[in-house]
Structure 1
Amino acid sequence: MNEDKSLLRPEWRQWLAENLALGVGVEEVEQVLVGAGVSLEVAREEIAAAGQHPYFQACRQVARHFGWLESLMETYSALRAQDGGRELEVREGLTPEEFFRRYYFGHRPVVLKGAMKDWPALQKWSVPYFREHFGQVEVEVMTGRDANPEHAAQQDRHRSRMPFADFLAMVESGRQTNDYYMVPRNDNWSREGLSALRDDLRAPEGIIDPSLQADQMTLLLGPAGTVTPLHHDNMNILLGQVMGRKHVKLVPSYERHRVYPHRGTFSHVDAGAPDLVAHPLFAEATVLETVLEPGDMVFLPVGWWHWVKALDVSASVTFHHFVAPGGNTHLDAPP
């Protein structure tokens, strides 16, 4: 901040308008500005000018609508908390009818036990198996993730191609790392060399489209320590754990205001070690947790926030073509 200038920089004016519109007190705003090097006289002048500007009045009206929606979500969250909303249900032998009625259309997550018992992948998949049968296939993976906190949102900066055998050597090195990972945004399923792996999977009967086309599923493979940061998908997802274990945390879609959204579908919160000083509302969030074992599946409803960490060398698959009227439900996120 340059004290010689009588006016705030544009980014500070934006910050000022946003915070005042969202209800932050004038004295608190003054303190932040003065702490940043603005004179008290200039701070008060800018606050007064902002309050009289017609653009700010429109901004405040939008904020009132935002506050109403947030209040509605708070009410819904309180109601769901009394209706099992603070528990992640675990089911075995669930019929398709109950899955869709209670979970898919009920917008509830659920862990499914035994839904993968007929998958050849559970017996066949391992690092040695991949190396023996697919080692020479060229694959795409994300590398250099540790150097970029925004790696999940900026995936195109991290795409690397290499023989599958080279990636497998990295995976089984014994390192616990988040630096390299084969994620859903890679196209390895559709490449001829790995397409045979789809033959080792089975669609949960009556829930997922049985054709299992390449564009209907994704593959995730990496070492222990890989982390998928807190985010939400814009459609329903069924995730199946084939190799290793994964720690999963979920936050309801209707608690969006408690996860500090960032870049639309991501969160500022590190759900593995949340900073409650920087993000105090996260302390009020409903956080459901589970550890997925090989053979477990978890249903991730559209818009639900989830954070995932691999506890072992891990392979997972996801499905998003549900046998539902009209196909999968999609969230039309604003641009």
Structure 2
Amino acid sequence: MNEDKSPLRPEWRQWLAENLALGVEQEDVHQVLVSAGVDPALARAEVAAVEGHPYFKACLQVARHFGWLESLMDVYSDLRAQDGGRELEVREGIAPEEFFHRYYFGHRPVVLRGMMADWPALTRWSLPYFRERFGAVEVEVMVGRDANPEHAAMQDRHRARMPFAAFLDRVEAAEQTNDFYMVPRNDNWRRDGLSPLREDLRAPRGIIDPALLPDMMTLLLGPAGTVTPLHHDNMNILLGQVLGRKHVRLVPSFERHRVYPHRGTFSHVDAGKPDLVAHPLFAEATVLEAVLEPGDMVFLPVGWWHWVKALDVSASVTFHHFLVPGGNTHLEAPF
């Protein structure tokens, strides 16, 4: 069958080849196609056409090389599951030495409580506070996100500048929306206008570089309903929840093959409402979750997949300069 003349939509042909290469059974992918309205005979013909294509045979050869690594990662995942890996640990009053030994170098996430008790931001930060002190400052935010499912990977298409007060008005008027959000990919934190906000923060003692220079942290601010889609960062992150609550879901870095990666650091899976018909391997993923309250911090190890949804008007800060040689551990991803 000439692939270019196939009546099956290109996205379905791509899905079909990807899932067959991942080892999903022919009958299973056939059933998904039929459930989506594809004629059963056409579905079988498409499966046969894919499996007979020389490009797909080359794809299978590459998949076999990765299959060995995935098998090893599955063993590692099973071992970690028997060592508390099925739970997101919550700790209070942890010493820096234990944090680095068990979590940073142990490549484990953790929710930390009590480390923000001395932050003036916990009592000061609110929409009126921001408006009174910084309302005239011009800030950059992401807008029009609802119209583009790939907004997180295409941030340059969504950048907009406006007075901070105008953005705060939109946040205050919204009930729940993911259409606009102040995300870290801007220079708001470094601009003179918002830089005094850094005075309301404190570096977690013994863990984060106390200099707190502008390029050592980021600010996230938006209404309830904002979602950061499932993705991973290429370095370790410590996120502090200052205002409002956030729901976080995490998947281990070593279960990458279960989250259907695309665009390098993003996932095809909607971790808020996973479609296990389209993404069946996600059913095997280890999903850790928690609701972060104001004053909570969460450590996101390098490469760990995370999805975040704001349950209220929310303000968070992230740190990425740890008290380790080089300031962080980085993932040099080839894709």
Separation (CA, whole Å) in 1 of partners of 2:215 and 2:321: 9
Q: Equivalences for 1:194-233 in 2 at 5 Å?
A: 194-233=194-233
Residues 1:65 and 2:60 aligned together = no
Separation (CA, whole Å) in 1 of partners of 2:50 and 2:291: 51
Separation (CA, whole Å) in 1 of partners of 2:113 and 2:45: 64
SS at match of 1:273: coil
Distance apart, 1:256 and its partner CA: 1.1
TM-score (norm. length: structure 2): 0.89
Separation (CA, whole Å) in 1 of partners of 2:46 and 2:264: 34
Contact 1:114 1:296 in 2 (8 A): yes
SS at match of 2:3: coil
Contact 2:253 2:303 in 1 (8 A): yes
- Deviations along 1:255-303, one digit per CA (max 9) or x if unpaired, are 1111111211111111111112222222221111111111110000001
SS at match of 1:218: strand
Task: Give the partner amino acid of 2:205.
Answer: E
Separation (CA, whole Å) in 2 of partners of 1:83 and 1:98: 17
Distance apart, 1:27 and its partner CA: 7.3
- Deviations along 1:96-127, one digit per CA (max 9) or x if unpaired, are 10000000000000111010111111111111
Which residue number in structure 2 is paired with residue 249 of structure 1?
A: 249
Task: Give the partner amino acid of 2:301.
Answer: P
- Deviations along 1:183-214, one digit per CA (max 9) or x if unpaired, are 01121001110011111111111111111111
Higher Cα radius of gyration: 1
Contact 2:51 2:57 in 1 (8 A): no
Separation (CA, whole Å) in 2 of partners of 1:278 and 1:258: 12
- Deviations along 1:9-59, one digit per CA (max 9) or x if unpaired, are 2969877765654445667788969949869889857754x3xx4x65543
Q: How many residues align?
A: 326
Separation (CA, whole Å) in 2 of partners of 1:167 and 1:142: 10
TM-score (norm. length: structure 1): 0.89
Which residue number in structure 2 is paired with residue 3 of structure 1?
A: none
Which residue number in structure 2 is paired with residue 176 of structure 1?
A: 176
**Unmatched tracts of structure 1, length 5 or more:** 1-5
Task: Give the partner amino acid of 1:8.
Answer: E
Contact 2:230 2:306 in 1 (8 A): yes
Task: Give the partner amino acid of 2:170.
Answer: M
Task: Give the partner amino acid of 1:130.
Answer: F
Q: Equivalences for 1:1-335 in 2 at 5 Å?
A: 7-9=2-4, 21-23=21-23, 35=39, 47-48=51-52, 50=53, 53=54, 58-335=58-335
Contact 1:137 1:164 in 2 (8 A): yes
SS at match of 1:199: helix
Tell me the C-alpha RMSD between the 2 structures.
2.5
Separation (CA, whole Å) in 2 of partners of 1:65 and 1:238: 34
SS at match of 2:131: helix
Separation (CA, whole Å) in 2 of partners of 1:175 and 1:183: 19
SS at match of 2:189: helix
Separation (CA, whole Å) in 1 of partners of 2:164 and 2:283: 42
Separation (CA, whole Å) in 1 of partners of 2:120 and 2:319: 17
Contact 1:138 1:163 in 2 (8 A): yes
**Unmatched tracts of structure 2, length 5 or more:** none
Q: 1:207 to 1:60 in 2, by over 3 A?
A: same
SS at match of 1:204: coil
Q: 1:295 to 1:133 in 2, by over 3 A?
A: same
Q: Percent identity?
A: 78
Contact 2:93 2:114 in 1 (8 A): yes
Q: 1:35 to 1:87 in 2, by over 3 A?
A: same
Contact 2:118 2:202 in 1 (8 A): yes
Distance apart, 1:327 and its partner CA: 2.4
Separation (CA, whole Å) in 1 of partners of 2:13 and 2:311: 45
